[in-house]
A and B are shown apart, each in its own frame.
Chain A
Amino acid sequence: MIQLHVLSVILLLLLTAGFAMAQESSTSVGGYGELHYNEPEGSAKGQLDFHRFVVYLNHEFNDWIGFYSETEIEHTYVSDGENSGELSIEQALLEFRPWQNYGFRAGIMLPPVGIINLIHEPPTFHGVERPNFHRFIIPTTWREAGIGFYGAPLHNLQFQVYAVSSFTADGLSAGSGLRGGRQKAIRSSTADMGVTGRVDYMPMLGLSLGASFFTGGLGHGTPTLDNAGLTMLAADARYTAGRLQLRAEGAMVSISDAEAINAVYDNMVADRLNGWYAEAAYDVLPFFAETVQQLFVFGRYEMYDTQAETTGFDPIEAYDRSDVTIGLTYKPAANVAVKLDYQLFDDARDADERGQLNAGIGYAFF
């Protein structure tokens, strides 16, 4: 009986593939990837890492129902050893769009907070590594299971709002912020749900403004953590004019009843985390050649503090950090990027800044 079941599944898959090919446009694949070279100052040799390899698999059931997925292998392979990479489903969701300008989504999705959690293909951002703001304040890549509504009431105004699994208090930490608290849609607790949303507004051509939020409980039934919760507010702006690109983002995370969380887990969680960055890039290639290729020179300054405010203990200065990144992004084609940059990491202690050289290649196709 089980064999029969397997057979029918295989048959179904074959049929699906057959029709997909016959239909030509109903199933599509795509993907992105990035190979990184990192060399911290003082180390004799750097490290090469095929950081991310992602495959998109999408399907259109009809004109208004679609499936969208991203499957990712981080660090090339997965084993049970210490150096293992990670195999994960980043996104897998169904979109229902019964109206021209409004629709629903359900599945594993990316909370739309900030710019890079949602739009993270390597050719879309400067620098080999994502800004540290997007690691320590907004914990990209951040995915949760959820359901919600999106729409565009005006041509230049879009919104999305979803109910998703919230963070868990035990995973929050002093230095890494919220990263360990992500549930990642693995048998996620629904005792405390979160709500997340975003508004995108384009007041003029070339300028895009965004405001986004997340709010949710943290206790998930732990008796003393009924009031523990987290609220994240973020704002971002992107401006392009000719060869100039500017972008800035900021976010603030407030954690309520951090004292109670620390009493249970002793993880030195702060009451408040915050951070921001500003970045400018300019395509210098037209100075040298008339071409559709691009060569951006860019600079970025960011500050992020995972212990901006604490109760019951003093903030650790090492977690009040700032980075300077300068570098080049060469785009021989719109969706291929060759990157080179130098980063200086500093924090509120008196210790010296640390430098790091990064090189990388990245691609995306759709």
Chain B
Amino acid sequence: MRFSDFLIMLALLTGTAAAQSPAEITEIAKGFYSDDISLCVFDISLCVFDPALSDADLAALTRVNDGAHPWRQVSTWRVLHAGETVGAVFVDNVKGKARPITYLVAFDMNGEILGLEILRYRESHGGEIRSPMFRGQFEGKSYASTLRVGKDIRNISGATISSRAVTRGARALATFMHLLRQEGRLQ
């Protein structure tokens, strides 16, 4: 193999998901809060290996993830309005059938979901989860909700894997939000 082939291979293999631009996130968040909000990067990591999270938190997260390994890196923003924190916006990836689905969830200070948006959908089937009919179901849901497909979230036939993946993600983020509020880290 020539070295140039190797470099091409390397380039192909190391391609990573495009980052979401802050402008795009801000525009979407405005729809859920108001036009005069601003976002600032949250100065805590929500990675569950964060040493600040207790064993009980970890157990809670493992539980909401159905026992699956809960590691993931979540991008987080504090939402500011007139100098006050009015909510939090999370951008996360969940795995669909084969590829990641990038989505955003906006919470108010009570931990309730103001809205869920699909930022990038990469699979060839199942894109119906981008429909407002599906996403609207998450409004008002929180840590206290069941947040399960077939229970309080209605399934989309033909997009079951994607429906479940995003619902599982929203359930985990609602738990993150709950923990942040409980520990007073949003103030």
- B128 near A62 (CB under 8 angstroms)? no
Residues of A within 8 A of B15 (CB): 26, 60-63, 65
Which residues from B are CB-within-8-Å of A79? Answer: none
Could you say which of A61, A101, A208 contacts B158, with CB atoms under 8 Å apart?
A: A208
Q: Which of B9, B95, B98, B160 contacts A66 (CB 8 A)?
A: B98
Contact partner of B99 (CB less than 8 A), chosen from A60, A115, A160, A240, is A60
Listed stretches B30-38, B84-92, B119-127; interface member: B119-127
Q: What is the size category of the interface that chain A forms with chain B? A: 35 or more
| Cβ-based interface call for A19 (8 A) | yes
Beyond A62-B16, A156-B128, 8 extra complex contacts between A and B, CB < 8 Å: A19-B14, A26-B15, A60-B15, A64-B122, A101-B127, A200-B158, A238-B157, A334-B164
Q: Is A38 an interface residue (CB 8 A)?
A: no
Contact with B along A67-97 (1 / 0, CB 8 A): 0100000000000000000000000000101
Q: Can you pick out 17 interface pairs between chain A and chain B where the beta carbons lie within 8 Å of each other? A: A12-B1, A15-B13, A23-B16, A30-B97, A30-B98, A61-B13, A61-B15, A63-B15, A200-B128, A202-B131, A206-B154, A208-B156, A208-B158, A292-B150, A294-B150, A366-B97, A366-B161
Q: Name the residue on A nearest B118 (C-beta).
A: A155
Interface flag for A103 (CB, 8 Å): yes
Is B17's CB within 8 Å of the partner chain A? yes
The digit string for A336-366, where 1 denotes a CB below 8 A from any CB of B, is 0000000000000000000000000000001
Are A208 and B157 in contact, CB atoms less than 8 angstroms apart?
yes
A58 touches B (CB below 8 Å): yes
Interface positions of B from 95 to 119, Cβ below 8 Å from A: 95-100
Chain B residues within 8 Å of A204, by CB: 133
Contact A8 B1 (CB under 8 A): yes
- With A and B bound together, what is the CA distance between A56 and B12 in angstroms? 21
Distance, CA A3 to CA B157, complexed state (A): 51
A66 touches B127 (CB 8 A): no
CA distance A72 to B170 in the complex (A): 34
Tell me the bound Cα distance from A56 to B161 in angstroms. 15
- B13 contacts A16, CB within 8 Å? yes
A12: chain B residues at CB < 8 Å are 1, 9
A97 to B17, alpha carbons, bound, how many Å? Answer: 13
Q: Please give, as numbers and ranges, the residues of chain A lying within 8 Å of B16 by CB-CB distance.
A: 23, 62-63
Residues of A within 8 A of B1 (CB): 8, 11-12
Q: Of the candidates A155, A240, A294, which one forms a contact with B154 in the assembled complex, judged by CB atoms under 8 Å apart?
A: A240
> Is the CB of B56 closer than 8 A to any CB of chain A?
no
- The answer to whether A210 and B99 touch across the interface, beta carbons within 8 angstroms, is no
The answer to whether B128 and A202 have CB atoms under 8 Å apart is yes
- Is B132 located at the chain interface by the 8 A CB criterion? yes
Within 8 Å by CB of A152, from B95, B99, B127, lies B127
> Which 4 residue pairs spanning A and B have beta carbons closest together?
A62-B15, A238-B157, A58-B98, A155-B131
Q: What A residues does B13 contact at CB under 8 A?
A: 15-16, 19-20, 23, 26, 61
Taking CB atoms, residues of chain A closer than 8 Å to B93 are 25
Flag whether B42 is at the interface (Cβ < 8 A): no
Instruction: Answer yes or no: A150 CB below 8 A from chain B CBs.
Output: yes
Taken residue by residue from 53 to 73, chain B's Cβ proximity to chain A (1 for < 8 Å, 0 otherwise) reads as 000000000000010000000
Q: Are the C-beta atoms of A158 and B98 separated by less than 8 Å?
A: no
Contacting pair A205 B98 (CB below 8 A): no
Q: Is A141 an interface residue (CB 8 A)?
A: no
Q: For residue B6, which residue of chain A has the nearest CB?
A: A15
Please, which residues of chain A bring their CB within 8 A of the CB of B161?
366
Q: Is A43 an interface residue (CB 8 A)?
A: no
CB < 8 Å: which of A11, A19, A63, A118 contacts B122? A63
Does A47 belong to the interface (CB within 8 Å)?
Answer: no
Q: How far is the CB of A158 from chain B (nearest CB, A)?
A: 6
In the complex, chain A residues whose CB is within 8 Å of the CB of B96: 366
Q: What are the residues of chain B within 8 A of A292 when measuring CB–CB?
A: 148, 150-151
Using an 8 Å CB-CB cutoff, how does the interface string of A239-267 with B read, 1 for contact, 0 for none?
11101000100000000000000000000
- Complex contacts, B158 vs chain A, CB 8 Å: 115, 119, 200, 208, 210, 238
A196-232 interface bits toward B, Cβ cutoff 8 Å, 1 = contact, 0 = none: 0000101011101010000000000000000000000
Min CB distance B89 to A, Å, is 20
